[in-house]
Structure 1
Amino acid sequence: MSAADRGMLVGAVLALAAVAFGFWSMILVAAFVLVGWGVGRVLDGKLDLRSVGDALRGRRSS
């Protein structure tokens, strides 16, 4: 599945949430999609939470 296909799928889910449940529910669905994306990246080893924490605290990484 390409990135464009995944983007269309996420867009369709958000559109259905907006139509079925309203704007704020769509925002909640979008937040859960982002959390799921982040968890997936961590589990795949593509996102290091320690470096994210360091960046948020203003520490530089090399």
Structure 2
Amino acid sequence: MTPTVTGMAAGAVLAFAGLAFGFWGFLLTALLMGTGALLGRSAEGKLDFRGVRDALTGRRSSS
């Protein structure tokens, strides 16, 4: 799936959640989608949690 199609699908899901469940349903859906995306990238091996932690704590720069 291309990034454009993925973004459109995510936008459609968030729009539906906002219409059906209101603001808090929208936020919960966005949070769960973000969590799922992080876990998916980790499972594919495209995300290193140690590197992210080190960058957030200032041990290593992102540049």
> What TM-score does the superposition give when structure 2 sets the normalisation length?
0.91
Count of matched residue pairs? 62
Task: After the TM superposition, list the runs of 4 or more consecutive aligned residues in structure 1 that deviate by more than 2 angstroms.
Answer: none
The aligned counterpart of 2:4 is: 4
The aligned counterpart of 1:34 is: 34
Q: CA RMSD for the aligned pairs?
A: 1.3
The aligned counterpart of 1:56 is: 56
* Shift in Å, 1:49: 0.4
User: Identity, % of aligned pairs?
Assistant: 53
State how 1:9-28 maps to structure 2 within 5 Å. 9-28=9-28
Contiguous gaps of at least 5 residues in structure 1: none
